[in-house]
Amino acid sequence: MVKVKICGLKRSEDIKYVNALKPDYAGFVFAKSKRQVTLSEAGELIANLNKGIKKVGVFVDEDIEKVKDASFALKLDIIQLHGNEPNEYIKKLNGYEVWKAVSIKSHEGIKRLKQYNADAILLDQGGGGTGISFDWDIIKGISVNTPIILAGGLNSQNVEDAIKTVKPYAVDVSSGVETDGFKDCSKIYDFIKKARSLY
């Protein structure tokens, strides 16, 4: 079964939604974004998060010691790197599960899939949280040894086609389950139901 990550959680209501609907991963954004949370805010949210849901911290070109400190303090399960972090940076996070985001805007982006020594590669159109997807056919049939997390412009209307085309390990959604910039429980429910209906 394809795993599901709901990203950009920032309200107590968001935690109630995911606790009820049980995605596999909950994402907290620490980079500059309209979904950014502070360490203290994330701590309060995580304290109320269902223990069966894995905690993902999203960072963009952050000082590595700050990433380590945040990950230790919040007991993050996964560190997601969404900037230009090189392999040397990833190696210094030894002991943590690391997901590295790669922007796929054309066939040129495919060359980058195999250059990172991360535990998983997250594919999106580059920007994060924009609601825009890339052409999934670009990576259709591509063989990589690293698990693929598909992100970028996913919603309940297209997630089934996306999974059938890309066959990812997991799907990652943020703006696609929002209404007026806030997480929408019914949209999260529909997304998870459709993502998990295929396998």
Active site residue ranges: 7, 124
Q: How far apart are CA 194 and CA 10, in angstroms?
A: 24
Amino acid identity at 75: K
Q: How far apart are CA 125 and CA 100, in angstroms?
A: 14
What is the b/e burial string over 71-86, where b = at least 16 CB atoms within 10 angstroms of the residue's CB?
Answer: beebebebbbbbeebe
Q: Is the dihedral of CA 140, 195, 97, 134 positive or negative?
A: positive
